[in-house]
Amino acid sequence: MLSQLPALQVVIPLIAAPLCVILRNKEISCLVSQAVSIVSFLISLILLQQVLNQNVISYALGGWLAPIGIEYRLDILNTFILVIVSGISSIVTIYSKKSIEHEIDSEKIYLFYTGYLLMFSGLLGMSITGDAFNVFVFIEISSLSSYAMIAMGKDRRAVSASFTYLVMGTVGATFFLIGVGLMYAMTGTLNMADLAERLPKVYETKAILVSFAFISIGILLKLALFPLHLWLPNAYTYAPSVVSAFLSATATKVAIYLLIRFGYTVFGSDFVFIKYPTAEILASLAIVAIIVCSLVAIFQTNIKRLLAFSSLAQVGYIILGISLNNLNGLTAAIVHIFNHAISKGALFLAMGCIALVIGSVKIKDMEGLGKKMPFTAFAIVIGGLSLIGVPLTAGFISKWYIILGALDKGWWVLAILLLLTSLLALVYVWRIIEAMYFRSSENVYKINEAPISMLIPMYVLVIMTIYFGIETSFSAGLASEAAKFLIGT
Amino acid sequence: MDLILSHINYWVAIALMMIGFYALIARGNLIKTIIGLNIFQASVFLLYITFGKVSGGTAPILQKNTELYSNPLPHVLILTAIVVGVATTSLGLALVVKIYESYGTIEEDEIAKLDAQEEN
């Protein structure tokens, strides 16, 4: 049983999805999603325990050994990602019931959970698999279901946002497919570990350079690095709140994991960072992303849109960490995947509470909310502080490592620049706080705090945001182990 | 000339890819965007099938007297990718129907105009 856990990790949500369609009941499908998420979370924790003991777990699907068969390969990095994805999913599904009933037609709710489970299994599959073509299949499983879920938003712009995402997402996935095809043509294998061994012999060929370019652009489209981010703001703004929270906390993060996996394991850092100026390209795009997207975020009137642009800026920090190509930089990237998932997850869940209670996420409708919805408002404050990177919140840990990484590399101008960009985050977070606490509302009607079933999951994330800002042996500890494993020291 | 003829499949794939990509990025009718997406994906399918061809090889079917046959793996991969393509197309068309129902148009610039009006 224990040896079958890697397969069960992906298969359980995949089987539960059609189950929801057969049952056609919103209550049961919600319960099924919660149960599946929690079981997946437990499996990922057991796998993490196993990986810490034996370093790498290799699972041959159907008994066909790698490199012929499809291999699920777990190391400390992707097991950490599995824990993040399934943990966030457990919290989001427990939160989702009331919010989904409010935002989605009641006869479509079971279909929503079907799509959710498919996307969940796609994301887990993307993280766990050790086969390059299999990654493509799972990318499409998760993307197709996320297009459908975004289109379920109430506003009609949700549908056009979903269409834009469909077109750009498919182009990204197809680019990835071209890259994998070229690698296969040059090496004759699709297994990642096998590719890593065979690729150095053909490093000099143009085909591998082209393949690397297609794969990285395909993945960058998926993770929405500036200037390939155009699909993201509308998709996050008009999707149902639960979907925005889940997408921002996990979907882009898994794409970032793929970039790390292909950059460090498959192609190897010698090829990516020394032979070609990938680091310089990624770093400059990331800096532009951080500055431009933070500036755009400052001028938004819709808070979900503001948070979407802030996500783009935070993706910039993660990519910057990867591009530093040293231990601290990579640790910063991996730990920020975790820290940003919990703090942005908390913020989007808080937006869901506000959308449920006052029916709007415009900044002008949030005036005086600090008194009316004290718990939700406080959650936004903590999440916002973490985005800025204030000490004692999780965001500070990531900023700390990334600045150490920049100093290790000798890019001290960058380190100063990073501190200055935190001020931009301060401005957009301050705008929300000012509206909530320092302006009184003209509306006199009484509003209640969000239901307790939504507050508790949200506060789990808020407490984690503070906890992992103080006690970092789990988050930063695992991240630096993973970084050491990748760099190979 | 020799370079073109000996790699004719690749040239066709590149040409299709560019045609599809152009149809995709040129702002216009959403159905045309979907068609562009299809052509774009089809070009990749062709590329994969070309990788699998072994010169002088027959179809990869087990039979007597054949030693040399084409690599069947790219065919299998593309079978999967075709299924994905069909799913993407149907989902895309379903979204176009929903867009038509709520906006009353499927021209991209008119949709952008309607969205801009709503913002103000």
Residue of B nearest to A300 (CA): B119
| Distance between first and last Cα of chain A | 34
Tell me if chain A has a CB within 8 Å of the CB of B99.
yes
Cβ neighbours of B74 (radius 10 Å): 22
Of A163, A166, A181, which has the smallest distance from its Cβ to B47's Cβ? Answer: A181
What is residue A473's predicted lDDT score, i.e. its pLDDT? 87
* Closest chain A C-alpha to B64 CA, distance in angstroms: 25
What is residue A348's predicted lDDT score, i.e. its pLDDT? 93
In this model, does residue B32 exceed pLDDT 80?
Answer: yes
Ordered domains of chain B (ranges, CATH): 2-119 (1.10.287.3510)
What is residue A350's predicted lDDT score, i.e. its pLDDT? 92
Instruction: Give the pLDDT band of residue A175 (cuts 50, 70, 90).
Output: very high
Q: Which residues of A touch B33 (CB under 8 A)?
A: 167
Give yes or no for a contact between A250 and A123, defined as CB atoms under 8 angstroms apart. Answer: yes
Inter-chain contact A178–B96, Cβ cutoff 8 Å? no
Tell me if chain A has a CB within 8 Å of the CB of B33.
yes
CB pairs under 8 A between A and B: 70
Instruction: Extract the tokens encoding A76.
Output: 């400390």
3-class secondary-structure state, position A474: coil
What is residue A445's predicted lDDT score, i.e. its pLDDT? 65
Instruction: Give the pLDDT band of residue A182 (cuts 50, 70, 90).
Output: very high
- Read off the pLDDT of each residue in A206-227 and give the average, rounded to a whole number: 92
- Read off the pLDDT of each residue in A242-264 and give the average, rounded to a whole number: 93
Cα separation, A236 vs A153, whole angstroms = 10
Residue of A nearest to B106 (CA): A160
Give yes or no for a contact between A415 and A406, defined as CB atoms under 8 angstroms apart. Answer: yes
Q: Which residues of B touch A160 (CB under 8 A)?
A: 99, 103, 111, 115
Instruction: Extract the tokens encoding A163.
Output: 């269409």
What is residue A386's predicted lDDT score, i.e. its pLDDT? 93
CB interface of A with B, residues 142-201, below 8 Å: 144, 147-148, 151, 156-157, 159-160, 162-163, 166-167, 170-171, 173-174, 177-178, 181, 184-185
Percentage of residues in chain A with pLDDT exceeding 70? 98
Residue A68 phi, psi (nearest 5): -75, -50
In this model, does residue A443 exceed pLDDT 70?
Answer: no
Q: Which residues of B touch A140 (CB under 8 A)?
A: 84, 87-88
Cα separation, A247 vs A116, whole angstroms = 10
Tell me if chain A has a CB within 8 Å of the CB of B110.
no
Chain A interface mutation, best of B95, B96, B101, highest count of A Cβ atoms under 10 Å: B95
The complex scores an ipTM of 0.94
Amino acid present at A441:
S
Residue in this structure with the two tokens 């500070």, named with its chain if needed? A396
DSSP chain B: -HHHHHTHHHHHHHHHHHHHHHHHHS-SBHHHHHHHHHHHHHHHHHHHHHHH--TT-B-S---TT---B--SHHHHHHHHHHHHHHHHHHHHHHHHHHHHHHHS--BHHHHHHHHHHHH-
- Read off the pLDDT of each residue in A157-167 and give the average, rounded to a whole number: 93
Inter-chain contact A167–B33, Cβ cutoff 8 Å? yes
What is residue B31's predicted lDDT score, i.e. its pLDDT? 93
A393-428 pLDDT, tens digit per residue, is: 999 999 999 999 999 988 888 889 888 998 999 999
In this model, does residue B3 exceed pLDDT 90?
Answer: no
Inter-chain contact A167–B92, Cβ cutoff 8 Å? yes
A319-331 pLDDT, tens digit per residue, is: 999 998 889 999 9
Cβ contacts of residue A35 below 8 Å, gap of 6+?
none
* Closest chain A C-alpha to B68 CA, distance in angstroms: 17
* Closest chain A C-alpha to B93 CA, distance in angstroms: 9
Inter-chain contact B91–A144, Cβ cutoff 8 Å? yes
Tell me if chain A has a CB within 8 Å of the CB of B78.
no
- Average pLDDT over chain A, rounded to whole? 90
Inter-chain contact A151–B98, Cβ cutoff 8 Å? yes
Instruction: Extract the tokens encoding A230.
Output: 């155009």
A307-363 pLDDT, tens digit per residue, is: 999 999 999 999 999 998 889 999 999 999 999 999 999 999 999 999 888 888 888
Q: Which residues of A touch B103 (CB under 8 A)?
A: 156, 160
| Distance between first and last Cα of chain B | 58
Instruction: Give the pLDDT band of residue A165 (cuts 50, 70, 90).
Output: very high
